[in-house]
Amino acid sequence: MQTVTSERGVRVTKVLLTGGIIAGPLYVGVGVIEALTRSGFDPTRHDLSLLANGSWGWVHSTLLVTTGLLAFAAAVGMRRVLRGNKGGKWGPLLLGLYGLGLVGAGFFAADPALGFPPGTPADARDVSAQGLMHLVSGSIGFLGLIAACFVFARRFASSGERRWALYSKLTGIFYFAAFFGIAMGSNGSGALLTTVIFGFIIAVILGWAWISAVSARLKRELT
C-alpha cells in the first residue's frame, strides 16, 4: 500500500495525517465549551452552526476553518499514502471536499435563528444569501464525507479488512441518515427538533472519530 518512500516524504505525510487525528478532538472539544458557555445557546434547540453569531461568533467560525484545513491536510496525506491503490484517488478527494466545505461554512456564517443569539426573535428562520452559502458549503462537505466513508468501505472490503469496511459503511449510513433528518426536520419544533439535532451531533462526532481513526491507521503503516 505504501507509496511514500523517501524519509522526507514520510515525515511530511505523517504531519499531514496528524491533522486528521487532531481535527476531530479539537472540533468536539471547542464546540462543547462553546455550547456550555455561550449565553442563550440551547443544544436541544440550536444547531452548533448558530454559534458563529454574536460577539463570540468568530470563535466558531475560526474553528470551522481550522478543522476544515486540518481535514484537507489529512486528505492530502491519505492521497500520498494510497496513490495507485484501490480507493486511493476518490477517497482522499471526497474527504478533501469535506474539509473545503467546512472552510466555506466558516467563512459564511449561519443566520441567527430561534432566539440565538439573544435578541433574535424566537420564530426567526429567515435565510440570507450568506446563510444560504453556509448551508450549501456545509451540505457539499457533508456529502463528501459520506461518500468518502463508502469509498473507503469498498477499499477495506476488497483487501479483506471486514471490520474496517463495516466501520466505514456504518459511519456513512448513520451520517447520511442524520444529515437527511436535520435537512428535513430543522423546521420542526419540540421533541422532533431535539431528536434531529442530537442525531446530527452524534453523527458529527462519529464522522470526526472515523477521520481520526483512518488517519491514525495510515500513519502507523508509514511507521
Q: Each residue of 18-54: pLDDT tens digit?
A: 999 999 999 999 999 999 999 999 988 888 999 999 9
Q: Which residues of 32-61 are buried (b: 16+ CB within 10 A; e: fewer)?
A: eebbeebeebeeebbbbbbbbbbeebebbb
Scored b (16 or more CB within 10 A) or e, 189-203 reads eeeebbebbebbbeb
pLDDT single digits (tens) 66-101:
999 999 999 999 999 998 888 889 999 999 999 999
pLDDT surpasses 70 at 8? yes
All three cell numbers of 84: 495507485
Q: pLDDT-based confidence at 186, cuts 50/70/90?
A: low
206 vs 86, higher pLDDT: 206
Question: How distant, in Å, are the alpha carbons of 32, 128, 197 from that of 40?
Answer: 14, 22, 17
Q: What is the pLDDT of residue 5?
A: 62
The pLDDT, as a whole number, for residue 109 is 92
Instruction: Please give the pLDDT value at position 35.
Output: 93
pLDDT attached to residue 9: 85
Please give the C-alpha separations between residue 175 and each of 2, 28, 34, 148, 212, in angstroms, as whole numbers: 29, 16, 23, 11, 16
How does DSSP classify residue 85? Answer: S
C-alpha span between 153 and 168 (Å, rounded): 5
* C-alpha Rg value of the chain to the nearest Å: 18
Provide the grid cell at 179: 444529515
Q: Say yes or no to pLDDT of 2 above 60.
A: no
Output the nine-digit C-alpha cell for 177: 441518515
Each residue's pLDDT tens digit, 137-174 = 999 999 999 999 999 999 999 989 999 999 999 999 99
Verify cis geometry, omega within 30 degrees of 0, for the bond prior to 117: yes
The residue that leads in pLDDT, 181 or 138, is 138
Q: What is the pLDDT of residue 126?
A: 76
Q: CB-based contacts of 56: which residues, under 8 Å, 6+ apart?
A: 34, 38
pLDDT over 90, % of the chain: 71
Least confident of 38-47, 176-185, 195-204: 176-185
Looking at the chain, list the stretches that DSSP marks H as alpha helix, in order from N- to C-terminal side: 7-37, 57-82, 90-107, 129-158, 162-185, 190-222
Question: Is the pLDDT confidence value at 188 over 70?
Answer: no
Mean pLDDT within 89-114: 95
